[in-house]
Structures are given as structure tokens and as C-alpha cells.
Copies of this chain bind each other. A is one copy, B any other.
């Protein structure tokens, strides 16, 4: 580990750490946004939640706005969490610091835009496709670099 770990550029690790916590913050906001949307549409699932709000309310499973936020959030789990792993391993491959910084930034900003155009203000395609594609391409590039380096 010494050989691999010690060669990581400290400035790059800071960049990685900064954008990673920004992305975790973004994911937490999705949780809160789901709850907010549930209140706005009065669409709760768990009987104990429904009961604690109003005795007349009924559970509601298929509110389109709530389900949209939940799909955006699930898409985060599918894409951001693997990005954390790959970007960290990519740092161990001794990448060009300038390039690595741009990639980490682009990958993170792609996901922020993705949430905005998916869940906050639904925008016609291909806005979501493009923002999704940015992070996907960054991740794919990092995967290739890692496979070449670690194989």
C-alpha cells in the first residue's frame, strides 16, 4: 500500500474529498426533497406516518412527483456511489493532476445538473441524458485507466 498510497497527490486528494462531500450533501438533499414532496402532495406510504399526520389520510404509493424524486435519488445510488470508489482508485494510478481535477469536477457537476433537471425542475430530454452522460463518461474513462494500471 505504501507504494500506491504514498504517491497520491495531496492536492488531488483534497479535490476528491471536497467534491465527494458535496455529492453526499446533494444526496442528503434528495432525501429531504422526497419528504418535502410527500408533505406537499400529502402522499405518505407508512401507516404510522399517515396516522401521525391526520387520522383521515390514506397511504398513497404512486404520486408521480414523489416517485420522480425517488427515481432521481435511486439513480444517484447507482451512479454516485460507484463514482466514489472508482475516483478514489483512479487517484492511486498516478494520474495527471490537472486532468484528474477536471474529471472529478466534471463528474460531480454532471450529477448536480442531473438532479436539477430530473427532480427539481423537470426539463425536456436530452437535458437529463446529457448530464447523466457526463458522469458516465468520466467514470468509464477512470475505469479504463484503472484496469490498465492495476491489471
Contact with A146, one of B9, B17, B82, B86 (Cβ below 8 angstroms): B17
Task: State whether A48 touches B78 (Cβ < 8 A).
Answer: no
CA gap between A51 and B125 in the complex, in Å: 9
CA gap between A146 and B28 in the complex, in Å: 15
Nearest residue, chain B, Cβ from A76:
B78
Nearest residue, chain B, Cβ from A8:
B1
A151 adjacent to chain B (CB < 8 Å)? yes
Point out the residues of chain B lying under 8 angstroms from A25, CB to CB: 143, 147
Task: State whether B89 touches A20 (Cβ < 8 A).
Answer: yes
Task: State whether B4 touches A10 (Cβ < 8 A).
Answer: yes
Point out the residues of chain B lying under 8 angstroms from A52, CB to CB: 124-126
A68 to chain B, nearest CB (A): 7
Task: State whether A21 touches B77 (Cβ < 8 A).
Answer: no
CA gap between A34 and B87 in the complex, in Å: 24
Nearest residue, chain B, Cβ from A86:
B24
Point out the residues of chain B lying under 8 angstroms from A7, CB to CB: 1
Task: State whether B5 touches A49 (Cβ < 8 A).
Answer: no
Other A-B pairs beyond A31-B136, A52-B125, 13, CB < 8 Å: A1-B91, A4-B13, A18-B151, A20-B85, A20-B86, A20-B89, A21-B85, A24-B82, A24-B86, A24-B143, A28-B136, A31-B78, A51-B125
Please give me the 3 A-B residue pairs with the lowest Cβ-Cβ distance, nearest first. Answer: A1-B8, A18-B150, A52-B125
